[in-house]
Structure 1
Amino acid sequence: MRAKMNNDVQTDQTRPPRSASGHSFRFRTIREAELAIACILAASLMTGTALAQTTNMPNQKSDTPSEIAKRKVQKKKMILLGSDTAEKRTVRPGARPAAAITPQPDHFAKFENLRIKGLEVNLPGPADTLVQDKGGIRSALAEIGIGYIAWTQNTYVNNLLPNAAKSTIANQLYSGQNPTFYTLNYMMVTYDLSRYGIPDGQIIVGTEQQSWTWQPGGPDRWGINTIAYYQTFFDRKLELKVGYLMNSYELAGTVVGGNPGANVFGPSSNVLYQGGMNFAPAPTPTLNLTYHFDDRLYNKVSFQRSTSPDGVFAHITANSTGLDWSTANAGILLLDESGYRNSAAPGLPETWLRAGVGFNNSHYTNLAYPTQPRADENSLYYVAADRQLWQSHVPDAASRGIYGGFSVMGAPPDLNKVTQYYELRLYAKGLFDSRPSDQISLVATDTVWSKFAVDAAAAKGNLVHRDAKAISGTYTAHLGPGIYASLGLTYIDHPTSITYTPQIGHALNFSASTSIFF
């Protein structure tokens, strides 16, 4: 997940502004994005006529009376059989002994309403955590309406190429130039308000701590990542979420495969973050409204206070706790995303199409006229699609198989250091029967720099490059409940931002990471 704050954004002190060319670019890109949205939604509707079943949306319709009765009967059976029911079950030949003492799925159903609501990423449920319900602590908290999830991600990155101009940490120019280590730690607690008659009501409070050996990658901080209120209206057609949010988990879908635990190295574009989108280390006051036209077609509008127009590092340095209501030169970011999404089901491949536009009235520095006063009216757009290409286990695990996807993002070159971003991805879930919950991903990216920023650097006599290409492969093993380990290899043509020297023109970064959920 933190690959989104890679070396390019981390070293950016991005400052954009207003120009005649910028205005025409913005209106053209927004109109093109709107046309892309219309095309995608039209394709979605045509595709929808050929699809049979509805899918497992995060906001499912209310249970029918028969389903409620069935659960009551199951609950009575559990009570009569006792808490050691799982241990008394017959173990199938060849099954791992741990499976015989692991609480059954029915045991975890009571925690579903306590999982964080309103997210696009798939945080593991209590059954896929290290502690599960050991000692009955999670059950005791659930009785009073409290749920929680905590996790830690620890990552090591190092360039394997010889003669890579190793330097001191203080002079390091990109993640991996010297051996780089960082740790990201989260704790999030929910409180169920539906017990008071509020439809799907929930309060979410979370904190995030991070530490980096290379400070531009972070920097170090401890503070909030979420303080939010959530509820639904009109039979779950409308979702409302308000508070200090991290929209990187709620819009655009930048994590390959949707699970941050299984995709630590999923590349993502800097376009969204230089455009002002908030994320875990930099939450800001936000109001999100999502309207579901049906179980698949949706539109999401976000009004958020922008992060600093001077970049991620400047924002976190100025507001490390995340509690400040305002940030210097930061205004309002309006984002709108339309999409079509269905989960995998037997004979129904998973599909997610989305397109969005953003408008930000923060005060950016114009890269074409850097000595002039700050301007405003920055913008961005994105179009992305993911499709399951093959289902390997249709009857019992429809989500297993091979997927493909792409992303295209853009922003005005006079206000943004990264002006275009392209990504192609191919990934597989549960490709091997012996490893049914592992994931493999292959991702190719191209990051295009602003022509104004490149020309300015070249005028000073620097070696410059106009884009940075990369290709990465990652294998993520699900080692046990709540435990993921990833190994990755990424080749980057020009890993630094715009300027470079011959010794740092290329990198082959080896990555090793663990993600543990509690």
Structure 2
Amino acid sequence: MAAEYSYTLMPRRKQSWLFVAVSLAAYQVDNSVLGQTTRALDPNTPAVDQATGRTAFDRAEKLRIDLAVNPPAPAPALSRGVPFEKRGGADRAAQTRTQKPVDPSARYDNLREKGVWFNIPGPADTIAQDKGGGRSALADIGIGYAAWTHNSFANNLLPNAARSPIANQLYMGQNPTFASANFLIVTYDLSRFGISDGQIVLGIEQQYSTWDRPGPNRVGLNTLAYYQTFFDRAVELKLGYLRNQNEFTGTLLGGITGSNMSALFQAGMSTNATPTPTVNLKYNFDDRLYNKASVQRSISPDGAYAHITENPIGLNWSTANAGILLVNEAGYKSKAAAGLPDTWLRAGVGLNSSRYTSFADPKQPRESSNNFHYLAADRQFWQSDAGGTPSRGIYGGLSIMGAPADVNKIGRYYELRLYAKGAFDSRPSDLISLVASKTIWSKFAVNAALAKGQLAHRDTTAITGTYTAHLAPGIYAAVGLSYIHNPTSITHTPQNEHALNLLISTLILF
């Protein structure tokens, strides 16, 4: 049986697309701006980088990807609300005739992490698959696992790039920058004991970078969660040490670019490197319309760098000055089908009781709370293989995020994106993306820099194009170029007003 699974498993391309998109996107994009934000809030470090140096580890970061938010049902479960009835021999024969062949990899669906807005690819899209039968043996006792490594490189190709000692580096790519994030997620199926869709999830993460401003190197907890559903899957409950970047918003996109969530991280949302105690509750009005709410212990109001420094393993209940973050997201999500384009609309708000330092009056004691809002939409415009793989085609999307400028370094973030999944018949699992973004910096922080006689800018603009190739089961490689006007945050020198970053990334799933 082990050999049989090894040779018959077929890639689930749509699920792989979303996971690869998020993993590469989050890891490359979100953390350069996050690095700037956390460094700006850390009184012991100078100002830092921008949203589009695009590399680092969130380790989404963002791992950050475009699948149904609802967790898949164990095969061969039927659709929600459609009970299976035993019938006479004629009916059973009719069912047998109309039943589609069972995908051998479907037995692992119930072992993937549930509650996140993406699905990690199944064994078919890994290097190991089920060679030797080890994965099957674990699945037989209810254990599933996913392991992957994401490695990336960024380098400014422009002459006179104002190279600096690593300790004084201001953005990803100013010096040739390498980063690596490695993950192991293990799940245990509780539905075998009669708990509806029940699951325990344990994840660990190791991250390393030659430039640590987005967050120091660490080995620690990624997630420790309990999940189950109620009322015929109308309600989903997930609690534990969670990283809400994988539970809300969605970084949807192919390649090494993606929706930048740093505007939300600075306002307290947890990341892959900063899991915090959380309770998430989602209500599914039907198969497409949902509302998801969260009560989360905020990450440090001084940012991810300060949070990881104080809590590197990730098991602390809280960090200094951190309060409670309330998040709510309403959305509509429909999966691609023949003649039905893939669509995801979502909007959310967050309220944070943490004690932030005010940029408007930094001499005052900490007393300011925080909040954020976001709106995002992604829509498939054209299906290139509606009858075969309907998720293949051309997509467009936008994101708008905002937070109060008096306590956040990033006041607003705008993004437009165009991307294609499986654009070429000869390369049906590849991704192409083009992303334009603008980050608006806090007017209070900008004015304070100008008052000190520093060169300062009020916004950063970036245009990034990437191509992600699926080279073999479990192996992806991406290459891209990102032009950034003002790659640093707020302050700059005449030598670092522009950057043209070469981005190279690999994702390997085991």
Name the TM-score, length of structure 2 as normaliser: 0.84
Question: Counterpart amino acid of 2:368?
Answer: D
Match of residue 328 from structure 1:
320
Match of residue 36 from structure 1:
none
Question: Counterpart amino acid of 2:112?
Answer: R
Match of residue 71 from structure 2:
58
Q: How far did residue 403 of structure 1 move?
A: 0.1
**Alpha-carbon distance between aligned partners in 2 of 1:174 and 1:215, rounded to the nearest angstrom:** 10
Question: Counterpart amino acid of 2:28?
Answer: A
1:341 corresponds to 2:333: yes
Conserved 8 A contact 1:4-1:270: no
**Distance change in 2, residues 1:150/1:73 (3 Å):** farther
Task: Give the greater-gyration-radius structure (CA).
Answer: 1
Q: How far did residue 218 of structure 1 move?
A: 2.9
**Distance change in 2, residues 1:322/1:264 (3 Å):** farther
**Alpha-carbon distance between aligned partners in 1 of 2:201 and 2:419, rounded to the nearest angstrom:** 32
Q: How far did residue 337 of structure 1 move?
A: 0.1
- Among 492, 509, 512, which residue is 2:484 paired with? 492
Match of residue 304 from structure 2:
312
> Residue deviations 1:38-97, cap 9 Å, x none?
xxxxxxxxxxxxxxxxx9953553575379979x989xxxxxxxxxxxxxxxxxxxxxxx
Match of residue 29 from structure 1:
none
Match of residue 295 from structure 2:
303
Conserved 8 A contact 2:72-2:109: no
Q: How far did residue 424 of structure 1 move?
A: 0.2
**Alpha-carbon distance between aligned partners in 1 of 2:249 and 2:506, rounded to the nearest angstrom:** 25
- Among 271, 279, 282, which residue is 1:279 paired with? 271
Q: Tell me which of the two structures has the higher relative contact order, counting C-alpha pairs closer than 8 angstroms and 6 or more residues apart.
A: 1
Match of residue 241 from structure 1:
238
Match of residue 10 from structure 1:
35
Structure 2, gaps ≥5 residues long: 1-25, 43-67, 74-78
Q: Tell me, what secondary structure is at the counterpart of 1:216? A: coil
**Alpha-carbon distance between aligned partners in 2 of 1:437 and 1:502, rounded to the nearest angstrom:** 42
Q: How far did residue 217 of structure 1 move?
A: 3.0
Q: How far did residue 125 of structure 1 move?
A: 1.4
Over aligned residues, Cα RMSD in angstroms? 2.2
**Alpha-carbon distance between aligned partners in 2 of 1:399 and 1:423, rounded to the nearest angstrom:** 22
Match of residue 65 from structure 2:
none
**Alpha-carbon distance between aligned partners in 2 of 1:301 and 1:57, rounded to the nearest angstrom:** 15
Q: How far did residue 190 of structure 1 move?
A: 0.2
**Alpha-carbon distance between aligned partners in 1 of 2:279 and 2:168, rounded to the nearest angstrom:** 40
Q: How far did residue 376 of structure 1 move?
A: 2.8
Match of residue 158 from structure 1:
155
**Alpha-carbon distance between aligned partners in 2 of 1:8 and 1:226, rounded to the nearest angstrom:** 23
**Alpha-carbon distance between aligned partners in 2 of 1:474 and 1:369, rounded to the nearest angstrom:** 41
1:375 corresponds to 2:367: yes
> Matched residue pairs, number?
447
Match of residue 173 from structure 1:
170
Q: Tell me, what secondary structure is at the counterpart of 1:363? A: strand
- Among 211, 229, 233, which residue is 1:232 paired with? 229
- Among 382, 389, 400, which residue is 1:408 paired with? 400
Q: Tell me, what secondary structure is at the counterpart of 2:448? A: helix
Q: How far did residue 466 of structure 1 move?
A: 0.1
**Alpha-carbon distance between aligned partners in 2 of 1:501 and 1:303, rounded to the nearest angstrom:** 42
**Distance change in 2, residues 1:107/1:414 (3 Å):** same
**Alpha-carbon distance between aligned partners in 1 of 2:28 and 2:472, rounded to the nearest angstrom:** 24
Conserved 8 A contact 2:259-2:399: no
1:363 corresponds to 2:355: yes
Percent identity reads 60
**Alpha-carbon distance between aligned partners in 1 of 2:473 and 2:129, rounded to the nearest angstrom:** 8
**Alpha-carbon distance between aligned partners in 2 of 1:220 and 1:57, rounded to the nearest angstrom:** 33
Q: Tell me, what secondary structure is at the counterpart of 1:380? A: strand
Match of residue 148 from structure 1:
145
Conserved 8 A contact 1:12-1:311: yes
Alignment of 1:182-221 (within 5 A): 182-221=179-218
Match of residue 506 from structure 1:
498
**Distance change in 2, residues 1:444/1:276 (3 Å):** same
Q: How far did residue 4 of structure 1 move?
A: 4.4
1:121 corresponds to 2:121: no
Conserved 8 A contact 1:336-1:357: yes
